[in-house]
Structure 1
Amino acid sequence: MAINSISLITPTQITNQTDKLGVQATPYEAGKNFSNYLSNAIESVNNQQIQSDTFTQKLITGQDVDLHEVMIASQKASITLSATMEVRNKVIDAYQEIMRMSI
């Protein structure tokens, strides 16, 4: 059984995206790119949660699904949600730190 990565972005994607830019992006474009990245990341977390719920429902209704698949999907969803919450907490802490800075 292959072990799939649960990472939302790989280091090679980061370097490829910065290579494509070449020119300095405007603040609007940078904000739009960041917004798109966050939307995709949240959508990925949501898809993990939906997949976990689907497997759980299949198990409850007695459909043909292996218990280990249900548990793996549940743990993937849990880990991605926990990681997302930690990133959110760090972003909020950074924002609060910036707001405390004197100009």
Structure 2
Amino acid sequence: MDFNDYLETVLKQRQQQASKPVQNKQQPAWLQQRMEDKTSQSTARDAIAKAQEDASVRAEQETKAPHVRINGRYMSQEEAQTQAKLHTQATPANADRIAYIKSLKKTLRAKKYQ
């Protein structure tokens, strides 16, 4: 069978497939199962998100004040401002200390291979 014969058979097969009526294409079984079955982790994540949203709505109804979400926690504007005031700034890195740590790392590497 030469290449021309092979091409003709392939083209005939494609034409036959194209002339067939289109069937409902189903997804593979593994993909259907994957979409239908949620893992316990995703179910828990959804439950936590729903609980947080419900807590936000309840808090707004109880205090009659709008709440904002900061780091996954809903709080009123006053609480957010207070937390921002209490937040301390990180101290800048000390260059001498960084150089000392690097020198310790170098000596440690040198000791490991000897």
Q: Shared topology, TM-score over 0.5?
A: no
Q: What TM-score results when the alignment is normalised by the length of structure 1? A: 0.29
Relative contact order higher in (CA < 8 Å, ≥ 6 apart) = 1
TM-score under structure 2 length normalisation = 0.26
Higher radius of gyration, 1 or 2: 2
Q: Per residue, is there more helix in 1 or in 2?
A: 1
Higher strand share: 2
